[in-house]
Every structure is written in structure tokens, then in C-alpha cells.
Amino acid sequence: MVVAIEVEGLSKKYRLGEYQAAYGTLRETVVHAGRRLTGREHHRASTELWALQDVSFDVPEGEVLGVVGRNGAGKSTLLKILSRIVSPTAGRAEIRGRVGSLLEVGTGFSAELTGRENIYLNGAILGMKRREIEDRFDAIVEFSGVEKFIDTPVKRYSSGMYVRLAFAVAAHFEPEILFVDEVLAVGDAEFQARCLGRMEEFGNSGRTVIFVSHNMQAVAQLCDRAILLEGGRLVREGPSEEVVAYHLQTSAGAGSTRTWSADEAPGDDLVRLRSVRIVDEDGDSVDYVDVRRPVGIELAFTVLHGGGPPVVPKLKVTTAGRVAFNAMDIDSRWHDSAPPGDYVATAWIPGNLMNEGLISVDAAVCSIDSPKLHHHVSVHEAVSFHVQDPTEGDSSRGTFTGQWRGVVRPLLDWTVR
């Protein structure tokens, strides 16, 4: 077995305090240094963040390796180190073969240059020799479908043409090792799908691929093996289905229940949020919800004093990185200033509405101050839950078991004549 990528004890440390100071002007740095010298400001305890900690793994040649984990687990840092954009704090990695990345689609395109010129420019940036570009030039142009405009500056291109040309160049670059970071991939769904398609082909042709994704289904389907990162550490390694299943079990997103003690409850001088829960019809906390059953989002909050502006509980529901909807209670009970006291408001999302997947909820209590919305408290990704379809034939996809796209999965009434 030939090892294409060998990673040994790779670590990356960021000093948070330092970077806050770093991104300023010379004056700020001089002032801080002066204060530190005169003892007026103690050396700020700079928070150290290990974005990656002692990660080791091998990727044999021809393997498609998935990298999964939550946001901030270190997936993108790992790819950035392996593609040599940032350097590690400790450890080493060895990469045997030419590296390409689908992150770099269109990187370095120059708006003033023509399509033809940009093919050469972008090719060189990706690491192609001039000969290689010349050999593939016609294929790239044909693939992009912009023949007619090849001598027009790309600033006159539509965004679709631009992306197609950029992708055409990337798709004709032939690295032995490919990195794909789906999390960062720009472009629309169709474009992302093309990236996945390209990756699949690439894997089938016996090249080595590292695929970073939040799309568990894609990882399970496309990858041979996967590794799971958590807080910068490698916590599991194995066949992709196994790692994905483990990840889904252990990472219920933000968790389905969130409570705050009295002194740390978020909010302002009028409203404090005490807890947010995902509940089923019986009022029990749940992580997993049947796609057909209604699910409740319960906000418990305290109004500290009377006489304030009228308040109203509000939710933002997000799935797969997209906002599914916003909702607030429009009942007249919130029209007047609420008397001080504890409130528990539960919003019911009907069954057969949300699609499968991880759903996160931003919880807020607001006052309407048209055209603005004043947030007394707002917690991003306060709770999350999984929607599951047991596929018993009575959800909107019937007995079909494949992928069923969409943010929502409503069960519609059909008329047939």
C-alpha cells in the first residue's frame, strides 16, 4: 500500500488576544506596548485556541477520505494546512503527489482580462505548466461553453458564464490528490453538485481525495473512510458509514435543551431568557423527531418589570445553512406591555413540514418597532434537533428511499381529474 498523505501529530494554535491586537493600526500596537511597559495594562491573558491538536492519520493512494465534525472542529484548518496556506504549530505532514483543490475555483481571475487570458492565468495559479494548458485549452473552452466570448474580458460575463469557465479550468487540472471543502465551496446548489460529481469521478479514477463536508449522506456515499474531528482532535476513524453514524448519534447540534441560571440568563433590563427546549406532543424533551409528528419549541423567559414596550417571542429556524423561516406569536395577548413574571411560550411546527436533517433554532424575544425589530434577547443556535423519516410510506416521499431535497417536505393535497 502506497501512502499518499501521511499526517503526524499535526497541531495548530491560534492566540486570540494577539489577533485582536494585530488587526489594527501601528498606533494601537504602540499604545498597548507602552501601557504594558508602564504596567498600566497587564499582559492580556491571550486565549489560546487549539484549532487542531495532535492529529495523525494516513491516506493510502486512491482512497477517498471524508472529514466530518461540527463547525469549528478544525476541518477547514486541516485542509488549509495540508494545502500549505497556513503552517502548523507542531507536527508534520507528507504529501506525495501534485495537489489540487476545488476551493480554488476561479481564484485569481482578473476581471480586465479576456476568457482566453484568464484560462492561462488561472491554470498557472492552480499549478499547471503552460504546455498542459495549451494541450487542454480547446477542451476547457468547449467544456465551459463560452466559445463565443473567449476573447471578451470576463467582467462582461454573466456570473453563470464566469463560474462555468472557472470550473472548466479547475476540472481540467489533473492533480494526483484533490482537496474538496464543501463547507466553503461558493456557488449555487447546481455548482456544488457539480463539485461533488467531479469528486466522485475523481475518486473512481483511483486518485486520492480528502473531502470535508457537513453533508453526512454525501460522505457516507462517496467516501471509503472518514475521520471525525471534535475540538481539533481526531476522535474517530473508520469506514465512512460507521463514522457518520457515530457522529450523528453524538452530535445533536447545539442540543435540544438549553437552560441558563438566573445570573447568566441572556437578555437586557426588560427580558431574560431562562430556557429553550425542543418538546414532543407530551411535553418531553426530544432530540429526534419523526417527520410526520408536530414538534414544539418552548421558550421560557422572564419579564422583569411592567411598563416596558410590548414584547413577543420569536424564532428563526435554519436547516442545512439556510433560513427555513422566521415566526413570532401574533396573538393579541402580546399587544400590550406584559406584566412582570415568568412566561413559557411554545411554538408548534406541524408534522410533515420540515425536511429530514439537522434543524437549528435561534430564539429571541423582540419588540416591534417598525420598520425595525428590537431584540431584547436573541440566542443564535440556541437549540437543535434532528428530523427523521422512518420511510413507512405515509410522508410526502411515499415509499421512495433515496435523497429527497428541499428545506421543507410538505404533504400536499393533490387533485386528479
Site for other proteins in 98-157 (CB under 8 A): 98-99, 101, 103-104, 107-108, 110, 112-113, 117, 120-121, 124-127, 129-130, 132, 136, 139, 142-143, 153
What type of residue is 375?
Answer: H
Decide if residue 203 touches other proteins (CB under 8 A): yes
Query: Which residues does 243 contact at the CB level (< 8 Å), separation at least 6?
Result: 66, 68, 225, 226, 227, 228, 236, 237
106 vs 267: CA distance, rounded Å: 43
Applying CB under 8 A, among 19, 158, 249, 390 the residue interacting with other proteins is: 19
Stretch that binds other proteins, among 217-225, 293-301, 325-333, 372-380 (CB under 8 A): 217-225
Residues 96 and 6: their CA atoms lie apart, in Å, by 9
> How far is 227 from 244, CA to CA, in rounded Å?
9
What angle is formed at CA 117 by the lines to CA 182 and CA 178, rounded to 5 degrees?
25
Altogether, the residues listed in the chain come to a count of 417
CA distance 68 to 363: 27
Query: Which of 393, 402, 415, 417 forms a contact with other proteins (CB under 8 A)?
Result: 402
Nearer to other proteins, 99 or 347 (CB): 99
Stretch that binds other proteins, among 199-207, 343-351, 359-367, 379-387 (CB under 8 A): 199-207
58 makes contact with other proteins (CB under 8 A): no
Subset of residues 351 to 370 that bind other proteins, contact rule: CB under 8 A = none
Selected from 220, 234, 254, 271, the binder of other proteins by CB under 8 A is 220
- Mark the segment that binds other proteins (CB under 8 A) among 171-179, 248-256, 315-323, 363-371: 171-179
Judged by CB under 8 A, does residue 75 bind other proteins?
Answer: no
Which three-class secondary structure state does DSSP give residue 153?
strand
Contacts of 43 (CB under 8 A, 6+ apart): 36
Indicate the residue among 127 and 309 with the shorter CB distance to other proteins: 127
Instruction: Provide, rounded to whole angstroms, the least separation between the CB of residue 202 and other proteins.
Output: 6
321 makes contact with other proteins (CB under 8 A): no
Residues 6 or more apart in contact with residue 379 via CB below 8 angstroms:
258, 266, 273, 276, 362, 363, 364
Where in 174-193 is the site for other proteins (CB under 8 A)? Answer: 174-176, 190, 193
Residue 64 as a binder of other proteins (CB under 8 A): the answer is yes
Separation CA 143–CA 171 (nearest Å): 9
Tell me if 238 contacts other proteins by CB under 8 A: no
